[in-house]
Structure 1
Amino acid sequence: MTVARLLKDRYRKIFVSGGAGFIGSHLLDILVPQGYEVTAYDNLSNGKIEFIEQHIGKPNFTFIRADMLDRKRLIEAVRGHDLVWHLAANTDIIGSHERPERDLRDCVEATFNMVEAMRQCGIRDIVFSSTGAVYGSLCEDRAVSEDAGPLCPISGYAAGKIGSEAFICCYCHMYGLRGWIFRFGNVIGARMTHGVIYDFIHRLRENPDELLIKGDGRQEKNYFLVEECIEGMAFGLLNTELDDQKPCEIFNLGTDSVTPVTKIAQIVLEEMGLKNTRIVIEGTPRAWPGDQPRVHITVEKINRLGWKARLSSDEAVRIAVRRMLGKE
């Protein structure tokens, strides 16, 4: 992890929504030891208290267990902060097919409450975690830039992120906020609670003789490590000046390579020491309703600014697998 202070001296008090989640807890692992005053706000529907327990009790850290839909509590909690790092969202992409209202409430309404709380408290700067899923089928067979459109989501998760981006952008133009929006590839590392790596490891622990790959086996996506994601967001924040004419900026964030799902299976099998496992490909076009099997995004914009992921997608996958297995 980088030794330099992540945000230098530009910010002192940082509010992290979704602070007990996968990305949020890793962000705390950087910010808290570096001396920033940090508040983590999380209802623990996706996050886990064990991810952040090492910080509880430290004088520069506050944990608030509360819901983003409780606007009054959110306003009280965010008051006095310099920066909002907005990570809270519904991350149960598969489960939201049965409960589509979660993407409306936990993404769009939560983000509206966040920017409205900022407006009422006089806080200007927000960093937002969006997703490459907003590009829908546009990115299935070609890599797309931030200018691609129209954005036609094929999942509730993507729709929720587009709605969230829209409220951030409009609050930036109407109420003087400044927004840095990052559309991720697939962020991976320790503490994952879902995703293909998580699924493969758990399936193989249950049955090491067979590994089912859902979908048609042609899936491929951009994977990068959680610490590189955080560093990329911080770099974009610190190196992009916003003003009244351009109060909001959008970046794709990830590596410049992709990893096929069959390669992920191979890496997991190698790291688990399994040599005789039979791989079964389900054969359906999509693994679940709303699945985006092939996601390709360009990261040239953030690269031109001066940031680039150090690891390839394949290298990141192997490291993440090893972390999930407790090997590093």
Structure 2
Amino acid sequence: MTNNNTSILITGGAGFIGSNLCDYFLAKAYKVTCLDNFATGHRHNIEAFFSNPNFTLLEGDIRDPQTCAKAVKNIDYVLHQAALGSVPRSIQDPFTTNEVNITGFMNMLIASRDAGVKRFIYAASSSTYGDSENLPKVEDIIGKPLSPYAITKYVNELYAEIFSKTYGMETIGLRYFNVFGRRQDPNGAYAAVIPKFVMQLMQHESPVINGDGNYSRDFTYIDNVIQMNELAMISDNPAAVNTVYNTAFGDRTTLNEMVSYLKTYLSEFDSEIAEIPVIHGPNRAGDIPHSLASIEKAKKLLNYNPKFPFQDGLKEAVKWYWENLK
């Protein structure tokens, strides 16, 4: 089935998740507009799409309302991925995190409302669970946020709900749990743990785990996240909209286990990696100890069926990094 008449705006489309979404929907013959200011996204993530007549790049910033209004013109669905991620970055610079993640989000909501966009799907975050100790995490039980970043992502959910109730907009929030996979940036001060450790191990450097390594995460492979975005977009179940969903695999892995798997998979390419020691440093401010999602709501209302358990996804990711970054 072709979708030539359906147009999607992917904000942050040159980033890790955004570029994977661009790739996927272009392959399905959707018209895709990518809005990015390249603050954290990369041109090399989307260069392959430039020759595709269904792809449009709009260089701009969601903090500018006029840019947002221009971006949503003739758009059916918005997949809003643009944000300043990273808990440590938000602790370092709460102002910019707030400006991008709250003011920018509001600009996109208003522009989408005014343009009559059919549905606004946005990247929410597992950080919203804050200090809640409940495991697994279920959507309607959250705690107090533990970082400026977490506050901004929770505010997104509150605004989306108000826009649904007040203006009749269809919104769906996807609470991402530690997404990883191809194109995730291994460089920079705020690099995510998996690509960062992969690069260090490939360079025969010891990765540093914050704390004793027994903190656990529901690491979620990118293809599961793509599936959730598509289901959120195409669902015709009235009960499935105007709510939020955990976007995860529904399993947890400790940081120690994760590094052990990484060493195993990488040592298939370079046997010396198996012997690299791991260093333990202090715990990091704002980190939640354990993260595990219940995905029952997404299974029930969206027919979500994640295909990639952590180890399968990690093997794919390691192979991609070895082939593209070595």
TM-score of the superposed pair, with normalisation by structure 1: 0.89
Count of equivalent residues: 314
The question of whether the paired residues in 1 share the 8 Å contact of 2:119 and 2:233 is answered with no
State whether structure 2 residue 57 is matched by structure 1 residue 43: no
Q: Where does the alignment leave 5 or more consecutive residues of structure 2 unmatched?
A: 186-190, 268-272
What's the CA shift for 1:111? 0.7
The question of whether the paired residues in 1 share the 8 Å contact of 2:223 and 2:308 is answered with no
Quickly say closer, same or farther: Cα 1:322–1:173, change in 2 above 3 A.
Answer: same
What's the CA shift for 1:233? 2.4
What's the CA shift for 1:223? 1.4
C-alpha distance in 2, partners of 1:83/1:89? 18
State whether structure 2 residue 285 is matched by structure 1 residue 289: yes
- Mean Cα deviation higher: 188-197 or 316-325: 316-325
The question of whether the paired residues in 2 share the 8 Å contact of 1:186 and 1:223 is answered with yes
The question of whether the paired residues in 2 share the 8 Å contact of 1:220 and 1:294 is answered with yes
Q: Where does the alignment leave 5 or more consecutive residues of structure 1 unmatched?
A: none
What's the CA shift for 1:207? 4.2
C-alpha distance in 2, partners of 1:247/1:198? 33
What's the CA shift for 1:327? 8.0
Q: Which amino acid aligns with 1:164?
A: N
Q: Which amino acid aligns with 1:155?
A: S
Aligned residue number for residue 160 of structure 2: 168
> For residues 135-164 of structure 1, what are the alpha-carbon distances to aligned partners after superposition, in whole Å with 9 as ceiling and x for unaligned?
01214x621211113x41101221111111
User: What does 1:190-209 correspond to in 2, within 5 Å?
Assistant: 190-193=182-185, 194-208=191-205
SS class of match (1:308): coil
What's the CA shift for 1:213? 1.4
Aligned residue number for residue 189 of structure 1: 181
The question of whether the paired residues in 2 share the 8 Å contact of 1:173 and 1:247 is answered with no
The question of whether the paired residues in 1 share the 8 Å contact of 2:220 and 2:310 is answered with yes
> For residues 74-102 of structure 1, what are the alpha-carbon distances to aligned partners after superposition, in whole Å with 9 as ceiling and x for unaligned?
10221111111111000243222211112
Aligned residue number for residue 217 of structure 2: 221
Quickly say closer, same or farther: Cα 1:97–1:206, change in 2 above 3 A.
Answer: farther
C-alpha distance in 2, partners of 1:257/1:204? 25
SS class of match (1:326): helix
1:18 to 12, 18, 37: 12
C-alpha distance in 2, partners of 1:37/1:101? 34
C-alpha distance in 2, partners of 1:30/1:157? 28
Quickly say closer, same or farther: Cα 1:91–1:119, change in 2 above 3 A.
Answer: same
Q: Which amino acid aligns with 1:299?
A: I
The question of whether the paired residues in 2 share the 8 Å contact of 1:255 and 1:299 is answered with yes
Aligned residue number for residue 138 of structure 1: 132
State whether structure 2 residue 100 is matched by structure 1 residue 106: yes
Q: Which amino acid aligns with 2:231?
A: F
Which aligned runs of 4 or more in structure 1 are off by greater than 3 angstroms?
205-208
Aligned residue number for residue 275 of structure 1: 274
C-alpha distance in 2, partners of 1:272/1:212? 17
The question of whether the paired residues in 2 share the 8 Å contact of 1:41 and 1:65 is answered with yes
C-alpha distance in 2, partners of 1:206/1:326? 14
What's the CA shift for 1:240? 5.1
Q: Which amino acid aligns with 1:324?
A: Y
The question of whether the paired residues in 2 share the 8 Å contact of 1:197 and 1:321 is answered with no
1:55 to 49, 55, 60: 49
C-alpha distance in 2, partners of 1:211/1:23? 24
TM-score of the superposed pair, with normalisation by structure 2: 0.89
Quickly say closer, same or farther: Cα 1:293–1:206, change in 2 above 3 A.
Answer: farther
User: What does 1:84-95 correspond to in 2, within 5 Å?
Assistant: 84-95=78-89
State whether structure 2 residue 123 is matched by structure 1 residue 126: no
1:116 to 88, 110, 118: 110
C-alpha distance in 1, partners of 2:170/2:72? 16
- Mean Cα deviation higher: 88-97 or 108-117: 88-97
RMSD: 2.1
What's the CA shift for 1:226? 0.9
Structure 1 vs Structure 2: percent identity of aligned residues? 24
State whether structure 2 residue 258 is matched by structure 1 residue 261: no
Per residue, is there more helix in 1 or in 2? 2
Aligned residue number for residue 311 of structure 2: 314
What's the CA shift for 1:27? 0.7
